[in-house]
Amino acid sequence: MKRFIRVALAAGLMASAGSAIAQVKIGALYPFSGGLALLGDESFRGLELAIEERNAAGGLKGQQMQIVKGDAVDPNQAVGEARRLTSVEKVPVVFGTYSSSLSIAATQVAELAGVPYFELGAISDPITERGFKNVYRSNPTAKDFANRMIDAIGEAIAPALGADVKALKVAIVHEDSLYGQTVTGYQVARAKEKGITIVETLPYSAKSVDLTPVILRLKSAGVDVVLQTSYQNDTVLFFRQMKEQGLKLKAIMGAGGGYSLRDTMTAIGAANMEGALNLDFTQYKTNAKAAPGIDAFVAKYKAKYGTEPRSGHSLANYMGAKVFFDAMAAAKDYSGPAIREAVMKVDIPAGTTPTGWGAKFNEQGQNTRVAPFIMQWQGGELVTVFPAEAAVTKMKTGVGTN
């Protein structure tokens, strides 16, 4: 019995000594409960997979990474949890956050504490436009999406239609909350730069139960191409009423929101959604040549969680986490200035990561090598169609059955 206790004590001591020496805490701030929990958790899974992969390969500087979760249900709690992570748990770095409003709140805390904050999924531009020294973002912003939508008219849609981009009648339709207004603002500015004429800009309330006035306006103006920024309910209503009112478009493009979700397609019907273009984080029906490692990611994901990935959020978080782990490994320590120096040295060409994005950070900490791919609903599947190297199939023209 005495011997057993001695052995047990020795084993316990070894175990605790081992963990004290070779562990580094990693803060993970996401909405794990509440209304944003589904995609918050999906985002976290990407980080979790990246950490497991790194730990299996020896960890960071020989230390195993240990996740400390913070549950950010709303901006207030994001602040509280960010404080707990940085001052009580004393994590050297924080990863997050999925939602922009949560990220804006939490990054302020991290900045004041001088703790590096790696944003892997929130798209609101101001997150990296406030002159912070410790905030870095690997994913594209709302402005990147808006610019890409406008550019796509000239680079992808006009060639597919065999039309002159200047001759196309383009309209912007958007829900009228901050989200829709922000994206539309960027789109209008970009269109002016590119010399594309926007014939109609039509805002509407996302709670609207009738969008026929919008559709009749588009019909009267003889619009060819519509760019829509929308949530889910209004996307469904728009497509249904577009069919009912016989609006015939040459192309329609959304950016995430309602356009990416399978439920939206089911509610609208595959035939009526056919041809709808969508700009979003990289999804899984993408050519692996432009996104090396995407298949391996899906395999790992399925092995761990037993399902297909629920959205592209996990992939975007996985890609960003890996980029920042490399930067952390290259930094001389985890202090703010050392991390900054290492992140600024990151130089990964586009087309070499599982999302297809590269990584090169500007002074504000924003990744500038992010070009979201264009996807299209074809036969009830969201497939990548542009650019050519990422495409799995050719882009179609026309929308729905009208």
Binding segment for another protein among 126-134, 212-220, 282-290, 310-318 (CB under 8 A)?
Answer: 212-220
Q: Binding of another protein at residue 267 (CB under 8 A)?
A: yes
Report if residue 307 touches another protein, rule: CB under 8 A: no
Question: Is there binding between residue 172 and another protein (CB under 8 A)?
Answer: no
Would you say 73 or 291 has its CB closer to another protein? 73
Nearer to another protein, 214 or 294 (CB): 214
User: What whole-number distance in Å separates Cα of residue 231 and Cα of residue 254?
Assistant: 10
Q: Does residue 232 bind another protein (CB under 8 A)?
A: yes
Give the x/- contact pattern for another protein in 8-47, rule: CB under 8 A.
Answer: ---------------------------x--x---------
Using alpha carbons only, give the angle 32, 37, 38 rounded to the nearest 5 degrees. 125
203 lies in the site for another protein, by CB under 8 A: yes
Smallest CA-to-CA distance from 264 within 299, 309, 228, 212 is with 228
> Among 20, 56, 195, 220, which residue interacts with another protein (rule: CB under 8 A)?
220
Query: Which member of 25, 169, 217, 360 binds another protein (CB under 8 A)?
Result: 217
- State whether residue 360 is helix, strand or coil: coil
Query: Please, what is the minimum distance in Å from the beta carbon of residue 377 to another protein?
Result: 16
In terms of DSSP H, where are the helices of 96-170?
Answer: 100-113, 142-152, 158-161
Q: Which of 204, 297, 301, 377 binds another protein (CB under 8 A)?
A: 204
Q: Which member of 93, 106, 152, 214 binds another protein (CB under 8 A)?
A: 214
CA dihedral 203→208→210→212, nearest 10 degrees, is 10
Angle among Cα 177, 182, 186 to the nearest 5 degrees reads: 150
- Nearest to 278, CA basis, from 296, 299, 262: 262
How far is CA 41 from each of CA 233, 261, 279, rounded to the nearest angstrom? 23, 16, 22
Q: Is 328 exposed, middle or buried (0-12, 13-18, 19+ CB in 10 A)?
A: buried
Residues that bind another protein (CB under 8 A): 35, 38, 176, 202-205, 207-214, 216-217, 219-220, 232-233, 236-237, 240, 244-246, 263-264, 266-267
